[in-house]
Amino acid sequence: MNKRYWLVLLLFGAVLACSKKAAELPDKIFETFKRPSNFPEPAYHFNTNAITEAKFELGRKLFYEPRLSRNNTISCGSCHIQTAGFTHHGHDVSHGVDDRLGSRNSPAIMNLAWGKSFFWDGGVTDLDLQPIVPINNPVEMDESIDNIITKLKEHPQYPGLFKRAFGSEEIDTDRIMKALSQFMVMLVSANSKYDKVMRKENNEQFSEAEARGYALFKTSCAGCHKEPLFTDESYRDNGIGAGPNDDPGRHGVTRQEEDRYKFKVPSLRNTAYTAPYMHDGRFLNLDAVLEHYAELVKNTPNLDPLLKQGATPGIPLTTAQRSNLLAFLKTLNDEQFVRDPRFAETY
């Protein structure tokens, strides 16, 4: 009898030895990445970076970590503010370390799990390699990854957090980038009124103006701003003309003349939070954007063919049509996303 008792104990011990430290009951149940039913399959390589709560949380901490910059002043979240749809609201271009000015408008960080390329020029095609660019950029964070690794190793919390996420205290480029990617791919914005209408949630319906705007959108805008992400991720010259800094756009990556002044088509989601617009933030509001397309498109050498269909370049839009389009664009705002506490700095 005694011996049998021993055996049971031993067996129990064997099981315990293998299970990871039994987790304390979490306050909230962690929701991993979920594809919204009206979205396509994501593009991110989850097979090499499966989402876990510990990695996601480490990623969030790193996203808001000013130690990623040379003088510990600028974090990713400095120029990608949640309440601004993860852009730098009110800034045409952003200021980085020592208030040095960048040259492009901070893009919205959302639905990156579906992103096939990143930045206005699409120079990076693997999300894991994206953070290296702003970190190294002298006008953004002006820091080297090696220095960051040194700082994180000396930090009282990070070695433990890396151990919790990856199984050991080792901190390297791969782990930092994988954790940051986890936070970024989880930033899914798919709860706008548009999404609810498409998913037939709660019997949500477009108003008359929104429905007219949607119909017009489908014929006049969807050629570039493809649903449901509202970008086809192509590079196009939309006839705004070069700005004062003569940013060559996609040409900087491909060095092909036909790519000069082309920029990646941005999503139209969350525009209520992400002004100003365009790669250099030149349009302060959506009225100015629509005015551009209706009246001010320049016949530039690489102007997109979709903007050259009429007698004059652009998309003819009456006042009523603009107002309907604006009504539709408002249905793409996802308030839940910009208020989601899981994505906030102080969670």
Partner 1 sequence: MKRITTFSTFALLTMLSFASCKKDNDTIPPASDELVPLSIEFDNIVGGQNLQLNTGSYKNAAGEFFSVNILQYFISNISLKKADGTVYTIPQDSSYFLIRESDPATRFAKVKVPEGEYTSLTFVLGVDSLRHTMDLSQRKGVLDPAGGMEDGMYWGWTMGYIFFKLEGTSPSAPVDPAGIRKFRYHIGGYGSPSFNNIKTITIDLNAGGIAKARKGREANIHLMVDISKFFTGTETISIEQWPMVMLHEYSIKMADNYASMFRHDHTEN
Binding-site residues from annotation for heme c: 76, 79-80, 221, 224-225
Whether 171 contacts 158, CB under 8 Å: yes
Interface pick for partner 1 out of 24, 27, 99, 146 (rule CB under 8 A): 146
Q: Whole-angstrom Cα distance, residue 152 to residue 65?
A: 10
> Applying CB under 8 A, does 126 fall inside the site for partner 1?
yes
* Residue whose CB is less far from partner 1, 93 or 332: 93
Kindly determine how many residues on this chain lie close enough to bind partner 1 according to the rule CB under 8 A: 36
Which of these segments, 2-10, 101-109, 205-213, 303-311, binds partner 1 (CB under 8 A)? 2-10
* Residue whose CB is less far from partner 1, 90 or 138: 138
> Applying CB under 8 A, does 144 fall inside the site for partner 1?
yes
Q: Cβ of residue 144: shortest distance to partner 1, in angstroms?
A: 4
Tokens coding 188: 């899914």
Site for partner 1 in 213-272 (CB under 8 A): 252-256
Interface pick for partner 1 out of 38, 53, 133, 198 (rule CB under 8 A): 133
Q: Cβ of residue 59: shortest distance to partner 1, in angstroms?
A: 14
* Residue whose CB is less far from partner 1, 121 or 195: 121
> Applying CB under 8 A, does 294 fall inside the site for partner 1?
no
- What crossing angle do the helices spanning 53-63 and 158-166 adopt, rounded to 10°? 150
> Applying CB under 8 A, does 112 fall inside the site for partner 1?
no
Which of these segments, 8-16, 81-89, 103-111, 330-338, binds partner 1 (CB under 8 A)? 8-16
> Applying CB under 8 A, does 45 fall inside the site for partner 1?
yes
Interface pick for partner 1 out of 39, 44, 63, 119 (rule CB under 8 A): 119
Interface pick for partner 1 out of 98, 154, 170, 172 (rule CB under 8 A): 172
* Residue whose CB is less far from partner 1, 127 or 332: 127
- Which residues contribute to the site for partner 1 (CB under 8 A)? 3, 6-7, 10-11, 13-14, 17-18, 45, 48, 119, 121, 123-126, 128-129, 132-133, 136, 144-146, 149, 172-174, 177-178, 252-256
